[in-house]
Amino acid sequence: MQNALHVPAYTVLTILLLASVGSSWRRHAGLVAGLACVCILCGIVLELLQAHIPGRFASATDMFLNAAGVLIGLIAWRYVQAKLALNRPAPASDH
């Protein structure tokens, strides 16, 4: 059961980081990719650090689940942003 929490935790982490960027994510695809990499690296580092705690161990499965959560967060963010763009009124023209 505990493993199931990795995906939603990293999904939320990714969405919150992307939300902190605001609308500039469209102009800075590299920033979005960088934030996703930071989230994935965070998951890897935290798993590796667990190996140094008595009674805990690093798990490749958990690392994979963390990365899957990041991917789902990216997809969810993109989906929501696309839906929001469709619902925005067209800019008024000055004819």
| pLDDT tens, residue by residue, 28-59 | 778 888 889 999 999 999 999 999 999 999 99
**72-83 per-residue burial string, b: 16 or more CB within 10 A, e: under 16:** bbbeebeeeeee
Task: Specify the pTM.
Answer: 0.81
Among positive and negative, which fits the CA dihedral 24, 25, 28, 34?
positive
Overall average pLDDT of the 49-74 stretch: 94
pLDDT at residue 92 above 80? no
Q: What is the pLDDT of residues 18-27, one digit of tens each?
A: 888 876 666 7
